[in-house]
Amino acid sequence: MPVRILLQGIEHRAFPGASFAVLKDDRVVMQAALGRFIYDEAAPAIELATVFDLASVTKVAATTAMAMLLYDRAALVLEQRLVDVIPEFAGKDELRRQVTIEMLLSHSSGLPAYVPLFKQTQNRDELLKLAAQAPLQRDPGTYAEYSDIGFILLGELLNRIAGSSPDRFCATEIFAPLRMSSARFCLPVELRGSIPPTVDDKTFRHRIIQGEVHDENASVMGGVAGHAGLFSATDDLMKFAASVLGDGPQLFRPETIELFTRRRPTPPGTSRALGWDTPSEPSQSGKYFSPHSFGHLGYTGTSLWIDGEQRIAIALLTNRTWPDNQSQSIKQIRPMFHDAVMEALIQR
């Protein structure tokens, strides 16, 4: 049934290809690869080992994971103010001095959701400067608004705290210990042809984007950013999920996992944890994930959801943005797919 739903999605051009994997009790119990790189029968077929642009799943599998490790090592203090690490964030608005690392992680900093900074500069340092100058849209801590700008700044903050960029830190401290061989930022040119393309970019880069980060702001940053830039196959996301569930190599203390994946009590009505999201009604995770679940979506049609109570993880990777970002059908297909997976697991 899960496969049938994805095949219908391909047929209706929700995405040209997809790969998924399901973890239950430290074992991959279901996986499949379907479709092709693009809507062309001559195009390469998607395989289980196919690597996708994870888009905002980067926020949990790299940036938040880095924050969790630094927190474990007492190098990161959630209550610390952003201006203490990135002094250029301070401005005439005194409220900016109230923004903390915890607020960045929980998307309650008051920063805007998105700003097309790439239209103003093609320079990484200049883009970071513009992000640090972005005006607050809300008073800090009063409202949850999903913010790419906040995570761009979070990535830079972690860089300064660790003395290592997110790509280097994650490669050595997260991906290598978990043997996530496909997980990486900035794919070498020789590997790009093996990645499903995400968009035929006619407005900014004026070329097909294949094996390069889809997100324009991340592109200007050289493909390494707190909000996007990571590539991976489903198998390696399962290794990451297993570690978070307490199986395999243990990167994080159980107390840290509990802290970062628990829904925040404030601001009122938020579904956010620290870096992670949690199921809300209605949820892209479907209707069967327990209240002790957490996950994240990616703009390119990717997702990772983990249920700590039922010990289940589901990774779904697609390139739904091909060829022009227009299809929104993933929003209907994804919860149906998750429900079908959970129902199949119940029947086992």
Beta-carbon count within 10 A of 15 CB: 27
How far is residue 301's CA from residue 299's CA, in Å, rounded to a whole number? Answer: 5
For residue 268, report the phi and psi dihedrals to the nearest 5 degrees.
-55, 135
Asked if 318 contacts 252 with a C-beta cutoff of 8 angstroms, the reply is: no
pTM: 0.98
Single-letter code of the amino acid located at 207: R
How far is residue 136's CA from residue 97's CA, in Å, rounded to a whole number? Answer: 11
Please state the domain extents for the chain. 2-66+167-347
Q: What are the strands of the beta sheet with 302-307, ordered from one edge?
A: 28-35, 17-24, 312-318, 302-307, 293-298
Q: What pLDDT is attached to residue 68?
A: 98
Q: How confident is the model at residue 272 (pLDDT cuts 50, 70, 90)?
A: very high
The owner of tokens 């705290």 is 161
Single-letter code of the amino acid located at 110: G
3-state secondary structure of 213: coil
Mean pLDDT of the region 68-75: 98
Mean pLDDT of the region 106-121: 98
Q: Is the pLDDT of residue 78 over 80?
A: yes
Q: Which two tokens stand for residue 301?
A: 């049609």
CATH superfamily label, 2-66+167-347: DD-peptidase/beta-lactamase superfamily (3.40.710.10)
Q: pLDDT tens for residues 179-231?
A: 999 999 999 999 999 999 999 999 999 999 999 999 999 999 999 999 999 99
Provide DSSP, 219-285.
Answer: HHTTT--SSS-EEE-HHHHHHHHHHHTT-SS--S-HHHHHHHHSPPS-STT--B-SS-B---SS-TT
